[in-house]
A and B are shown apart, each in its own frame.
Chain A
Amino acid sequence: MVDIAGILLTGLQQGAIFALLGLGLTIILGTMEFLNLAHGALYLIGAYMGLFIVREVSVQEGLLAGIAADPAAVGLGSSFLVALILTPILMFVIGVAMERFVARPLYDRTEVEQLLLTFGLALIIEELAREFVGSQPFSSYAPDKLLGFTVSGQADVPLVGLYPRWRFVVIGLTFLLIGLSYLIIERTDFGLIVKAGTRDSEMVRMLGIDITRSYALVFGVGAALAGLAGLVGGTIIDVAPGIGTNNALVPAFLTVVIGGAGSVVGAIAGGIILGMVAAVFQFQAPQWSQIVLFGFVAVFLLVRPGGLFGSVEVGE
């Protein structure tokens, strides 16, 4: 008998990752009205980045197996903390580059063309991953120790009972990241520009603010968030080329749809709601959980098209 508290915790933990993903997607969508179907691919890159920073893994297939000096131990085998610092920085750079070379030429193209091209890009990134490291799934890389604390094994928590320690860390970590992004967007000048840009980018430009540079920054932050979601997600589920679309892109879009496009609070709420619904049904009726999840989103979208906190409806 699993406690209700345990289910809710699992929901919270899944939801927090969804929220992180949705957050990255929604600020890009809200600021630039750019639909990035390659968002899941950024998650994928983040997950692989984490894998090769944290672990030394044996790569059996793919180009990397041929290139690497020792295919049996590819990776830095460094600590999770290093990954936590390196991943967002690298992902930020990737995001900025992506804005410059992929998104910028597409701003004045139609929505359908944006979807098609970023979909193609997602396909290419996923296949590049498959080419380099092969299709084999790598087991998740939750660390044993973080900052000197033991984070593996089970913790005995009142009300909840035995629950994996690492999941608590994940919940804490993601909420810390979410809070940090929330502060950046709500409390800094950069956030103010981003938020103003979601309302009326032309007006921002008229005020003499170079919003193009902000676009690059927003894309970088969005990519860093997606990468962090991948890094955290990779400690819970196995890393394989398919996770980008299945475990990240689709949930990220569902999260944004529930929360409302462009809304930071919406992405957080949407992610947690989605995680909770998924967790409850995974426990109650595992076979039906995905069906209920998608059905939930469909009903939600039909009843509340603007999402929970959405102000603008993209594509309307």
Chain B
Amino acid sequence: MSDDTETDGGTTVDVTPEEENLVDRLVAAKDGERFVAVAAFVGVFAMPFLLIDVLGVFDTLIGLSLGGFVGLPTLILSFGIVAVGYNILLGYTGLLSFGHAALFGSAAYAAGIFSNNVVASPLLAVVAGIVVATLLSWPIGFLSIRRSGVYFAVLTLTFGQMLYFYAFGPGSWLTNGDDGYTPFDVAGGPDLFGSLAMDASITTLFRDVTGLTLTLTDGLDMTVGYMLAALVSVLAIVVAHRIIKSPYGLILKAIGQNEQRVAFVGLNVFRYKLMAFILSGVFAGAGGALYALSKAGLTVHPNATLYWVVSGDFVIITAVGGVGSLAGPLIGAVVFEYIRLVVQGITVPGTEFQIGSLWRLLLGVVFVVVVTLFPDGIYGGLSSLGDRLVERFGAATDDRRPVEEVEETGGDD
């Protein structure tokens, strides 16, 4: 496997136009940036519909409340963005951090404090969150990366916990401590571009502009806030894709596989690791700020943002979804938040039995099962299934593979 560091990552695909069929064309386009952008766009805008309306059908049919609620997709996206960035660190560079809650939480507080004290603008709040998380990830990363393995994990944990206890106690003047901080006083949050209310939905906007009434289902009737989160997510996914596919990303991947070799080649491993940490901090910042925006009129609490258990949640999301892939963490975020917020409200039909607090147990079991059986997570399992389907239905199976891989696996086939 060590040869992988020298290949181009197995991404370049040359298919002669005559031989391709639809399946192969799709596979060929799968790793292209345009495909990723379009898929991300379709995905984030279809998600509320799928979660709320499609799964909600069960609700009306058999009384099983599988459907999501209106705020769920926003939460999924804010955690998903963090996980996408966290994956650059865990999945590619191979660093297990237990301190990303610090970056996520600081960004959430920064976004709120910025809007309450400087300018109440959702876009600038996201920027403020990203700036603070980035500035914070630099020293935390700089110090923690000096150690590796479990020591790195413990160091990130200590820095995260220091911030958590600061926000809880001595920092209460800033964070309001245990009572929680209200990021935006206005219900629904400040207006986007000064005129679009964040909690205005498509139907309200349509009515305001045309005076006509438009009827949409809950899932399709997205709010401005969700659309902002969705656009930030698409941007984050495209940026992450570009990082991962770049030569820079390949070096990060190489570090994850064999750090020593990368050092022997003459590259400054420390610098690359630090950059991976800071990059993941940027994503954590964006996710944290979006989380704060979704909490407009409510409160941001240290336990839900800065506590190390939240860092553990990012670990779970990334590992369950699939480390080392772009889609994995996003799938993980959907699964995690769905179990956390929807499954717990389910009552098994015909009985009085409620899932309730069992959700964490269920999550733990799902986590252990996935990590044991599919080390590459749900996405890893799905994509190997996909590969099999492609082999079944694709015409030019062997041409699709990079030369090196064909040589390597030739014996097994």
A residues at B contact (CB < 8 Å): 35, 111-113, 115-117, 119-121, 123-124, 126-128, 130-131, 135, 245, 250, 253-254, 257, 286-288, 290-291, 294-295, 297-298, 301-302, 305, 313-316
Contacts and interface: CB of A to CB of B under 8 A. Distances in A.
Contact of B153 (A115, A286, A295, A302): A115
Contacts of B170: 287-288, 291
A120 B364 contact: yes
Contact of B149 (A121, A128, A295, A314): A314
8 contacts: A112-B90, A112-B94, A130-B357, A130-B361, A253-B154, A291-B169, A297-B158, A301-B147
Given A120-B368, A294-B162, A315 B358 contact: no
Given A111-B150, A123-B364, 7 more contacts: A124-B365, A127-B358, A130-B357, A130-B360, A250-B308, A290-B162, A316-B148
Contacts of B375: 113
B150 A123 contact: no
A123 B149 contact: no
A111 B165 CA distance: 29
Interface in B283-315: 308-309, 312, 315
B143 interface: yes
B159 interface: yes
Contacts of B162: 290-291, 294-295, 298
A313 B357 contact: no
A316 B358 contact: no
Given A116-B315, A294-B162, A301-B155, A127 B147 contact: no
A291 B165 CA distance: 6
A112 B149 CA distance: 8
Contacts of B360: 123, 126-127, 130
B368 A117 contact: yes
Contact of B150 (A128, A135, A297, A315): A315
A123 B367 contact: yes
Contacts of B368: 117, 120-121, 124
B319 interface: yes
B363 interface: yes
Given A250-B157, A294-B158, A116 B149 contact: no
Contacts of A135: 357
B158 A316 contact: no
Interface string B159-170: 101100110011
B261 interface: no
A15 B161 CA distance: 20
Contact of A120 (B165, B308, B309, B371): B371
Interface string B81-115: 00000000010001010000000000000000000
A111 B149 contact: yes
A314 B150 contact: yes
A287 B169 contact: yes
Given A131-B358, A290-B165, A302-B146, A120 B154 contact: no
A95 to B, nearest CB: 19
A135 B357 CA distance: 10
A124 B364 CA distance: 5
B146 A315 contact: no
Contacts of A294: 158-159, 161-162, 165
Contacts, number: 112
Given A112-B96, A301-B147, A302-B146, A120 B158 contact: no
Nearest to A125: B364
Nearest to A315: B149
Contacts of A253: 150, 154, 157
Contacts of A112: 90, 94, 96
B372 interface: yes
Contacts of B149: 111, 314-316
Interface in B325-372: 357-358, 360-361, 363-365, 367-368, 371-372
Contacts of B169: 286-288, 290-291
B358 A295 contact: no
Contacts of A120: 316, 364, 367-368, 371
A294 B163 CA distance: 10
B393 interface: no
A297 B162 CA distance: 11
B206 interface: no
B166 to A, nearest CB: 6
A235 B257 CA distance: 47
A302 to B, nearest CB: 6
Contacts of B151: 257, 301, 305, 313-316
A297 B151 CA distance: 11
Contact of A128 (B94, B161, B361): B361
A133 to B, nearest CB: 12
Which A-B residue pairs are the 4 nearest by beta carbons?
Answer: A315-B149, A287-B169, A123-B364, A127-B361
B154 A254 contact: yes
A113 B371 contact: yes
A104 to B, nearest CB: 13
B96 A127 contact: no
Nearest to B157: A250
Contacts of B372: 117
A120 B361 CA distance: 10
Nearest to A307: B151
A119 B161 CA distance: 18
B173 to A, nearest CB: 12
Given A112-B96, A131-B357, A298 B159 contact: yes
In this complex, the member of A127, A257, A313 whose beta carbon has the largest number of chain B beta carbons within 10 angstroms is A127
A245 B308 CA distance: 10
A127 B364 contact: yes
Nearest to A111: B149
Contacts of A124: 361, 364-365, 368
Nearest to A106: B372
A287 B372 CA distance: 41
B154 A116 contact: no
Nearest to B153: A115
Contacts of A130: 357, 360-361
